[in-house]
Structure 1
Amino acid sequence: MFRKYSTLLGFALLLASQTGFAQQKRSLTHADYDGWESLGSEQITKNGQFVGYQISPQDGDARLEIFPYAKPAGKTVIPRAMGFSFSADDAFAVGKIAPQKDSVRVLKLKKKKADDLPKDSLFILQLATGKIEKLARVKSFSIPSEKGSWIAVHFEKELAKKADPADSVKSDSTKKAEKPKKTDGTKLLVRSLDGAKSWEFERVKSYGFAQNGDFLQYTLAEEDTLDNAALYVLDLATGESKLVHEKMTAYSGLTFSPQSKYLSFIATDDSAKHKKPEHKLFLYQVAQGNVTQELGKETAGLLENGRISPDRVPRFSEDESRMFFGVAKGYRDFAYEDDTTILDEERVSLDIWGWQDAEIQPMQLKNRSREEKASYLALLETGSGKVIQLADPELDDVYLENKITQDVALASTDQAYRRSYSWDIQTGRDVYWIDLKTGKASLIEKNASGNPRLSPEAGYAYWYDGRDSAWVAYDLAKAEKINLTKEIPVPFYEELHDSPSLPGSYGAEGWLADDAAILISDRYDIWKVDPKNPAAAVSITMGEGRKNRVTFRRASLKRDERFIDAKEPLILSAFNEVTKENGFYSGNFDGKSAPKQLLMTANNYYGLRKAEESSQVIVRRTTYRENPDVYLTDLSFKSLTKASNLNPQQANIKWGNVELVSYLTLDGDELQGLLFKPEGFDPAKKYPMMVYFYERNSDTYHSYRTPAPSRSTINIPYFVSNDYMVFVPDIKYKIGLPGQSALECIVPGVQAVVARGGVDTDNMAIQGQSWGGYQVAYLITQTNMFKAAGAGAPVVNMTSAYGGIRWGTGMSRMFQYEQTQSRIGGTLWEKPLYYLENSPLFMMDRVETPVLIMHNDEDGAVPWYQGIEMFMALKRLNKPAWLLQYNGEDHNLTQRKNSKDLSVRLSQFFDHYLKGASAPLWMTEGLPAVEKGRTLKYDLGN
């Protein structure tokens, strides 16, 4: 009896302790990252009746949630679904279902071949009934974009059947089994989404719907290397499939015109291995069922010695009167290349850097593929068959709008200024307008500063002129340039710009109908400017933005909007620069009444989407503590209904809070910073503090920060959850003094935080990556207030880095120092002392702070040798320093395995120095080359 009672009592006490433990919050661990969810691909049907989105863990199987707008609790959840779309008629949702990730991993461990691994499936969800249909082994699918209730499903190749001895027939043993024919085509199923109509086609290589859902084109792959590839068009109304063309080796560039009057395609009868294939461009008239135009290198009007480019997909004007396509230069003959008497090992491999080249060799090599596929735009008049060459090697860039509705296009060339791009990234360009009826190009401006666009009715070209810090327009009919903002008494350049380059603008919101006016933003407000009378410009926000330091921007509510309809509601996003509150206002286009607040809260709102045919909208909302979930509302924003519920596990994790800190720099400038505090912060206690920085971050006050493996910087939620304070100060820079500027902003910011209480001043650290890594390196030569430092990809020697290459783009690094982030403002020979004084390498002997450096051997932004220079200096000076070099990694880590590893090492490094934790073996013993790949040495020493 006693034994039974004591057993029950023990069980009760154990249960009580477990319950109490479950109610206690715990700290984040590195193991939490994989399951942390994010949300994406949010969509709302055109009628506003259904909403869907995909929720994905960082590592694992995603899921799709679809539900009626009026009943968000009535969710249909489809495990492992991805890449979904609502049908054009709002009746179905379709998407893929990925194989279970763990199952695929197990099979890969067993060395299974790719063909034997599980393949994607397809789901078709009928929204009204919730009925789900699934199809297996799906390679891809497509549905019409504008209208129609059809789907095309392209299947994976069928698995080879294993021979069955029972199938053999002794009497026919001498007959050879028929070999399967070789083709890279597979089965295509085309059907109505409800399944009432369907067609199947074998050996299909590619396919695509017309925008309006009336037709589908599909190509058949070659079979057994026979020239029997073919192109067909399926009439979805009748089910009739017509042969369009056949007996070519490849078809590409397949494009229906907007109303399906035409189908364009490019074809060749040369093999894929042919060094100089020739292509022809065809225009097929769908209703009549015949090819009306065939263009080739002999076609009149094409670029001299030009050829049809297969690398540019043709486009049509909205009225279908013009088809635009690419023309490439003719192939050149190179005797050395074609000399078959030279062995491969005898061929010279050489890069020649010529001073006269427009681009330096690394840029040329990076852009080689693009240059090989370069083409010049031409047009075909679909009615007359006339070809007009629009672009050529002298005027090589012609812009086409998303929807081509006018007889005008803009063109430009920067060839005259390209050579200086290695050090001047704000080069100009010569801008022209082209009459599409004749192909005639007329000059708008030489050496223009900006990126001109065309107004909706093609009355004006317009752009922001960085040299004049003004918005300008060019009246095409009058050949007259207009300064749109000259008479407006506020600046239109970026007011916080602090680098030695031309400041940018705050953007333009778009044009009203008939080119009546353009809406242009300053820092806070929106101005309506009539190009015919710019002096009469009015602020449609009535200056309320600048008065209250609230930034207003127009929320775009229509997809593919050509111009702004003044009859539609004007919804403005709003952001308070001081409090960081965010929300929405309603406005008017006449500028006679101030914007009216609809919603303004201590949150961050983004991703606003409106249903095309109703007032329903979906939007994301966050704070530091609040996940970026989807909310449902309408254009009144009177109430928001939470639809998704990301990461419910966060409720059991110590999360902390963030505060906005205001402070003064050493020069007396007002700045702000973000102070993250641990859960249950007690100002009487002392907490270790991390300081992280990169330019200005205070506007992200209400942004959610996801726990995730580090690609280069500390993960703020992880450190806050583990009882660190984290401070993120803003930085204001002086030209020529980037290092000193950081010191004069960061140190006072830290001191302001210390004065608030709770900081263990003996245990503070700094960490930064790239530009932040440079500033870390500089700061530890100027102050010993930090007990440890982390510097990722730091530039420490501006003199050696200045002449280097950004291998990711092939560009010279000169512009970085002369014009942009490094902010020196001159060449190395113009300002040598600035380069020296801002280079922490020359002051490494002052460093007393242990440093963890990360710099990877394929960094395409900051030369890898910069991290080596820093490490070797500290090693030579006998200063504690470690260099993490992830093999094959770029500026920021891209491989998740490496990000997880860096996260562990960052936390171990800072825990050791700021919390007194034991140092791991990789810090005390290192990781000898002979042990590489055999151990990680996370183990803690004594």
Structure 2
Amino acid sequence: MMRMSVSRAAAGLVFLIALAAGSLAAQTAKKPITQDVYDQWRAISGAILSADGQWAMYTVSPAVGEGELVIRSTAGATEYRAPRGYTGRPQLMAGADSAAIFNPQAAQFSADSRFAAFIKYPPAAEVEAARRAPRGRPVPQPRNTLGIVSLADGKVTLVPRVRSYRFSRDGGKYIAYLLESDTATTAPGGAGAAGGRGGRGGAGGAAGGSRQEPGAPLILRDLASGTETRIDDVTSYLFDDAEHWLAYTTHAADSTKSGAFVRDLGTGTGTALASGKGNYRALAIDRKGTQVAFVSDRDDQASAKPKFALYYASLLPTKGKKELSPATAVVTPAAVGASLLVADRGRTDFVRDGGTLQFALAPLPLDTIPADSLVDKAVYDLWSWNDTKIQPQQKIDAARDRNRTYVAAFVPATGKWNRLSDDSLTQVTIADNGKVALGLNPVQYAIEQTWGEGGSDVYVIDVATGGRTLVTRHLEARPQLSPAGKYLAWFEGNKWWSYAVASGRKVDLTGALKGVRFDNEEFDMPDTPPAYGAGGWTKDDKSFLVYDRYDVWEVDPAGVAAPRNVTAGAGRARKLAYRVVNLDTEDRFLDPAEPLMLTMLDSATKSGGYAKAKLGASMAPETVIAGAKRYAGLAKAKKAEQYLLTQQTYREFPDLWTGRTIAGAAKISDANPQEKDYPRGDVELVSWLNDDGVRLQGMLFKPEGFDATKKYPLIVYYYERLSDGLHAYVAPTGRNVINPLVYTSLGYLVFEPDIVYTEGQPGKSAVKSIVPGVQALIARGFVDEKHMGLQGQSWGGYQTSYVITQTNMSAAAVPNATVVNMTSAYGGIRWGPGILRTFQYEHSQSRIGGTLWQYPERYFENSALFYLDRVTTPVLFMANDADDAVPWYQGIEFYNAMRRLRKEAYFVVYNGDVHNPTKRANQKDIDKKMQEFFGNKLLGHPAPSWMVQGIPYLQKGRDQVHLAAPAAGGGKDPAPQP
């Protein structure tokens, strides 16, 4: 193992002591917000408190670039900083797979609050060098480094080539970390498997399948002394909660050294639970450290395709013996039958109380078709009217379906097991007590699900016997299983219901509350309004918390006690929406002995805050903190009265605040000190009446130094309801929607109006909401009504393309990823999930409310395509040829109609990119083109060359590499005048 000395490591860690603020620097002129400064803005992630509340830790990262770990004392000015490497590098990397989202692993504190650990990723230069290396040329792959920080003095130990690490949940003496093997060929960024707490099931294990590479060295480090123990060939490892045991599996080149083992951390004694040639996977240990399970094919090595069995071992001493008993095969291949296998993938885990072990079964794999067997054969897809899924969805789901598993449960006390799920009862959740499970059967409604009318039959399962009891049929909402397994609760028919597992009694919990709506009052889609939601269960399943629009209700799942309004109607009286915050994430219930913490949001002003209430009572909540801000992320130290939260406004970044009380919290981070050098402007909440007399709200973003006596160009951006985001901080970004901060810095006003809808009239509803809102702003005298633009993406793009057919108020419009023809889009495919788009029109966002043959006139009347002859507004729009949500041929229909009508239109297609571009270069390019287009039409800037000359196919890409177009003979006709 390679390890930096403490002194050398400490030199690499920046130790800062906060100083008193000095004199203010002389103010200078604000800098313009341009694309080259976007990545100066950093975000905070992974913010946590140590268990004793003495430390806060978080990572700050730009969208693209190097991140930094910060560990800050909550009681003083002590602060440690360390580089985390290339953390800001997700799918934005040039040439990266658009689906490969990179999420840096969160740093962790030890349970005793004496140490912290983090993964330091390779620097950007190493990652980029490896990515750009020619194929076939050997190149060292970037590796991750583990950092271990002593909180007492800030010293750090750096360990290179670390794949993952673990602390125990409640211990604190040890850290275990898995090194890269000497033969590892991890791709850039591929290292760093999930580490963290020593949970119960299988992290750090090898991928499923019959082949397995040899394991790697595991290091067990005593954090206080620095003493290390090396264990070779490890493939997976786990601590129990209290750190009595380290369980691990190995796979060695010498097969006799492969096996499943435990190490007694008190004595240092290691015990082989099973060993010998074979694979050992899906390791699990219960929270109390009394039992271990895993799967292995060791007993079937004589077969051509060895099959796995489930092994179980007790870690409790056997009477009369000092040694642990070896693991025994408790579920064998013979026991599961010829059509099933014990799976080496899927979840293997002990339930919370340890009385039941969940494991996975799998169907026999399909035989593969030989690669050359279809030569000179027809290759085709057959779409059958009886298919439960259409072919594109089957293709998307193929890998998951091919590797599907079934939930099964083994009960150690009885030695019996049962299969709980199958191809019909596909979703099973076992309660914390391990005795009952919730099962959902959506299969018989799968065809109806294609157009948005699915659901599930709901069952309660006896884990000990596998027996199933039907609770209700065709339920649209997902039911909740109580933590102790005594009840199910669900929302149906505008009521909350419960089902008592022991008695089979079904109870209407809220039907007696006349005039109280638990379904969404503002829901305006042509479907059943969903519930406002639930706040969770109380201890021992005594009660269940549900929401109306504003208040919190406590209901008795047994149906004996009457429902209690915990917030005493104060929410509705004050127009404050109260919602539960669970500060103890370890427990899955709310403790009635503790204050009930609530978030609150003022629906009129958008002000936020936190309040306290009392379970078992009905009284107005006590406000803890409130203001014209958005408060979020509230957390509490596990063993101390120390709180962590963020607060933000449009002008104030959501930095971290901490304190012994919430109201007394002080700011401890400053992620973006550079923002003071750039213009910020401000935002105003505005209101108006739409054409149907409904009072609406919206946000008006103003440039810095706004002067109401002057006139400003206006850009209107919308989706549905956005005004609740009044106090959300906006960082500068460049992508396929306008950024209010960027555009106000360019001299525009930006207006974001809320929109409400009438069923069957989505396009007209948008016009009725947007146009009066703009007119209300014009009446105030500061809008240049001859220089107004519209912009939207996806649903906002649809509304933009429709609005310009109904009014000529805008001088420019950018409807990205738009639908212009509902009649053709209705039968299209959302290529990301492979599903049919009909549900969106019949039941969801597009709000037509029926089929194309029921309401052909609605589809026609709400399709911009049929009114494009009225358009006078120049348009720029994007539709990408790998769009995973809207068929990109909608863009083709739009372009060809505008071109045929000789109306000014510019159509951008980013090849191989999706609905919202994920490739960094494409994000920046559409941002630039939108700025250039609006700049030309609304600010009078010169038109860029792509607007004047276009880009012929033979010249494609020359503008990106700065090659001039041929001087003559380029084969381009003169550009027609719009």
TM-score normalized by structure 1? 0.90
Alpha-carbon offset, residue 437 of structure 1: 2.6
Farther off after superposition, 801-810 or 533-542: 533-542
Question: Does the alignment pair 1:473 with 2:498?
Answer: yes
Question: Does the alignment pair 1:231 with 2:257?
Answer: no
Bigger Rg, which one: 1
- What is the aligned partner in structure 2 of residue 291 from structure 1? 327
Q: Per-residue CA shift, 1:435-490, capped at 9, x if unaligned?
A: 2232221111122332122223333211011xx11111112333222111111231
Contact 2:712 2:784 in 1 (8 A): yes
Q: Per-residue CA shift, 1:798-845, capped at 9, x if unaligned?
A: 111111111111111110100000000000000001001111011111
- What is the aligned partner in structure 2 of residue 676 from structure 1? 701
Give the letter for the 1:366 counterpart.
I
- What is the aligned partner in structure 2 of residue 39 from structure 1? 44
Alpha-carbon offset, residue 117 of structure 1: 4.2
Alpha-carbon offset, residue 79 of structure 1: 1.6
Contact 1:584 1:597 in 2 (8 A): yes
Question: Does the alignment pair 1:258 with 2:287?
Answer: yes
**Rounded Cα–Cα distance in structure 2 between residues aligned with 1:418 and 1:785:** 45
Pick one of 98, 109, 118 that aligns with 1:95.
118
Pick one of 522, 527, 535 that aligns with 2:548.
522
- What is the aligned partner in structure 1 of residue 482 from structure 2? 455
Pick one of 380, 388, 393 that aligns with 1:358.
388
**Rounded Cα–Cα distance in structure 2 between residues aligned with 1:394 and 1:504:** 25
Contact 1:550 1:576 in 2 (8 A): yes
Contact 2:355 2:434 in 1 (8 A): no
**Rounded Cα–Cα distance in structure 2 between residues aligned with 1:800 and 1:227:** 64
- What is the aligned partner in structure 2 of residue 692 from structure 1? 717
Alpha-carbon offset, residue 567 of structure 1: 0.7
Question: Does the alignment pair 1:316 with 2:362?
Answer: no
Residue aligned with 2:66, SS: coil
**Rounded Cα–Cα distance in structure 2 between residues aligned with 1:261 and 1:192:** 22
Residue aligned with 2:779, SS: helix
Give the letter for the 1:660 counterpart.
L
Pick one of 726, 734, 755 that aligns with 1:709.
734
- What is the aligned partner in structure 2 of residue 76 from structure 1? 80
| 1:339-350 pair list within 5 angstroms | 343=373, 345-346=375-376, 348-350=378-380
Q: CA distance change for structure 1 residues 589 and 218 in 2, over 3 Å: closer, same or farther?
A: closer
| 1:869-908 pair list within 5 angstroms | 869-908=893-932
Pick one of 211, 222, 225 that aligns with 2:241.
211
- What is the aligned partner in structure 2 of residue 442 from structure 1? 469
**Rounded Cα–Cα distance in structure 2 between residues aligned with 1:851 and 1:597:** 49
Where structure 1 has 5 or more consecutive residues not aligned to the other structure, the ranges are 1-18, 161-181
Give the letter for the 1:27 counterpart.
P
Pick one of 958, 961, 964 that aligns with 1:934.
958
Alpha-carbon offset, residue 258 of structure 1: 1.9
Residue aligned with 1:140, SS: strand
**Rounded Cα–Cα distance in structure 2 between residues aligned with 1:939 and 1:524:** 60
**Rounded Cα–Cα distance in structure 2 between residues aligned with 1:709 and 1:563:** 42
Residue aligned with 1:61, SS: strand
Q: CA distance change for structure 1 residues 30 and 339 in 2, over 3 Å: closer, same or farther?
A: closer
Give the letter for the 2:345 counterpart.
D
- What is the aligned partner in structure 2 of residue 573 from structure 1? 599
Question: Does the alignment pair 1:557 with 2:594?
Answer: no
Alpha-carbon offset, residue 564 of structure 1: 1.5
Alpha-carbon offset, residue 696 of structure 1: 0.1
Contact 2:490 2:497 in 1 (8 A): yes
**Rounded Cα–Cα distance in structure 1 between residues aligned with 2:717 and 2:234:** 54
Contact 1:377 1:398 in 2 (8 A): yes
Identity %: 38
Pick one of 108, 115, 128 that aligns with 1:105.
128
Give the letter for the 1:494 counterpart.
N
**Rounded Cα–Cα distance in structure 1 between residues aligned with 2:242 and 2:71:** 25
Q: CA distance change for structure 1 residues 921 and 268 in 2, over 3 Å: closer, same or farther?
A: farther
**Rounded Cα–Cα distance in structure 1 between residues aligned with 2:414 and 2:557:** 37
Contact 1:921 1:938 in 2 (8 A): no
**Rounded Cα–Cα distance in structure 2 between residues aligned with 1:234 and 1:907:** 62
Residue aligned with 1:628, SS: coil
Give the letter for the 1:405 counterpart.
N
Contact 2:294 2:310 in 1 (8 A): yes
What is the RMSD of the two structures over their aligned residues, measured on CA atoms? 2.6
- What is the aligned partner in structure 2 of residue 423 from structure 1? 451
Contact 2:449 2:455 in 1 (8 A): no
Pick one of 228, 237, 262 that aligns with 1:198.
228
Give the letter for the 1:870 counterpart.
F
Give the letter for the 1:675 counterpart.
L
- What is the aligned partner in structure 1 of residue 95 from structure 2? none
Residue aligned with 1:756, SS: coil
Question: Does the alignment pair 1:824 with 2:853?
Answer: no
Q: CA distance change for structure 1 residues 126 and 921 in 2, over 3 Å: closer, same or farther?
A: same
Q: CA distance change for structure 1 residues 158 and 326 in 2, over 3 Å: closer, same or farther?
A: closer
| 1:10-89 pair list within 5 angstroms | 23-71=28-76, 73-80=77-84, 83-89=106-112
**Rounded Cα–Cα distance in structure 1 between residues aligned with 2:245 and 2:952:** 64
Residue aligned with 2:698, SS: strand
Contact 2:68 2:84 in 1 (8 A): yes
Question: Does the alignment pair 1:379 with 2:409?
Answer: yes
- What is the aligned partner in structure 2 of residue 177 from structure 1? none
The number of equivalent residue pairs is 887
Alpha-carbon offset, residue 27 of structure 1: 2.1
**Rounded Cα–Cα distance in structure 2 between residues aligned with 1:411 and 1:757:** 61
Contact 1:693 1:728 in 2 (8 A): yes
Q: Per-residue CA shift, 1:549-601, capped at 9, x if unaligned?
A: 00011211101322221111222211110011101112122334321222110
**Rounded Cα–Cα distance in structure 1 between residues aligned with 2:128 and 2:560:** 64
**Rounded Cα–Cα distance in structure 1 between residues aligned with 2:25 and 2:487:** 70
Contact 1:735 1:824 in 2 (8 A): yes
Q: CA distance change for structure 1 residues 547 and 228 in 2, over 3 Å: closer, same or farther?
A: same
Alpha-carbon offset, residue 367 of structure 1: 1.2
Contact 1:661 1:674 in 2 (8 A): yes
Give the letter for the 1:407 counterpart.
K
Q: Per-residue CA shift, 1:317-364, capped at 9, x if unaligned?
A: 3343321212222356x6xx5679x64534543221111111111111
- What is the aligned partner in structure 2 of residue 388 from structure 1? 418
Q: Per-residue CA shift, 1:896-920, capped at 9, x if unaligned?
A: 1211111111111111111111111
**Rounded Cα–Cα distance in structure 2 between residues aligned with 1:749 and 1:114:** 61
Where structure 2 has 5 or more consecutive residues not aligned to the other structure, the ranges are 1-23, 86-103, 185-211, 317-323, 966-978
Q: Per-residue CA shift, 1:363-413, capped at 9, x if unaligned?
A: 111111221222222221213321222223343332124xx2152212121
**Rounded Cα–Cα distance in structure 2 between residues aligned with 1:202 and 1:196:** 19
Alpha-carbon offset, residue 534 of structure 1: 6.4
Farther off after superposition, 583-592 or 682-691: 583-592
Give the letter for the 1:559 counterpart.
T
- What is the aligned partner in structure 2 of residue 812 from structure 1? 836
**Rounded Cα–Cα distance in structure 1 between residues aligned with 2:81 and 2:703:** 35
Question: Does the alignment pair 1:834 with 2:863?
Answer: no
**Rounded Cα–Cα distance in structure 1 between residues aligned with 2:333 and 2:125:** 53
- What is the aligned partner in structure 2 of residue 307 from structure 1? 341
Question: Does the alignment pair 1:147 with 2:171?
Answer: yes
